[in-house]
Structures are given as structure tokens and as C-alpha cells.
Amino acid sequence: MNFSSVRLSDNVIFHQALQSFNQAKFFDAHELFEELWRVAPEVEKLFWQGLTQVCVALHHESTGNRIGAASVLNRAIRNLSNCSDEFAGLQLRPFRESLEGWSQAFADGTSPPPLPILLMTKVAEHH
């Protein structure tokens, strides 16, 4: 996968989405990631859909809808599973590991781990 429809290092929506996500403003982040999903090339839509779904899942969790959160999160994990560990300027390996912890907590009925965060790669930070 190679994101080519927008230059992410200069994309205001992308940076607003990251900031909203990392501030646990999941509804806002979902709206912004959804905008990127709509304009993404077909081969990258699953990535952007996956990020959007993570936001929806965490928003569901924040409103007490754990069943909905678990269902959407598992779809998000599937959609993000084929992406490389660094994709679209993001460090996806630690992010996916965090999501797996959340999925396991939902399955076990236990308390979830700390909220996942989206980190930029070192290369993306310097562009």
C-alpha cells in the first residue's frame, strides 16, 4: 500500500485527525479520518476505513457500548492487518499491538489497557 492521493505531511485534516485521536476525541477523529477514507485511492481505502473504525470502536466504548465497540474493533484490526509496520507516516506495529490488547480485554470482559496512540514515524516528522 502506498498513499498517493494527498501529501500527508502537509495535510491539515490528517494532522487534526491525529491530534483528535491522541486526545481521545474519537468522534471528531472518526469524522476526519472518514474524510481521508473518501478521497483515498481504492487500494488504500481499507487502511483509512480501519482507522475510522478504531475511532468508532473507542467512541462506543466511551459511551458504554462494549458489544458494539468489540465488533467494530475486530473489523478495524482485520482492515489494518495487511498494512506494513510503518504506513502513511504512522508507526502501526505498536498501534496494532495496542488494539489487540483492547480486543482481548473485550473478549475476556476485563479492563482494557491504556488508550492506543498514533505516533508518526521519525521520517514523517521531519518532512
What structural domains does the chain harbor? 8-125 (1.10.3450.10)
Q: How confident is the model at residue 7 (pLDDT cuts 50, 70, 90)?
A: low
User: 15 pLDDT band (50/70/90 cuts)?
Assistant: very high
Q: How confident is the model at residue 4 (pLDDT cuts 50, 70, 90)?
A: very low
Grid cell listed for 26: 474519537
Q: How far is CA 42 from CA 11, 38, 80, 95, 99, in A?
A: 19, 9, 15, 23, 24
pLDDT in tens, 65-120: 999 999 999 999 999 999 999 988 899 999 999 999 999 999 999 999 999 999 99
Report the DSSP beta bridge partners of residue 91.
Answer: 86
Grid coordinates belonging to 112: 482494557
The whole-model pTM stands at: 0.89
pLDDT number for residue 68: 97
Cα–Cα distance, 115 to 73 (Å, whole number): 13
Range scoring the smallest mean pLDDT among 20-24, 26-30, 41-45, 91-95: 41-45
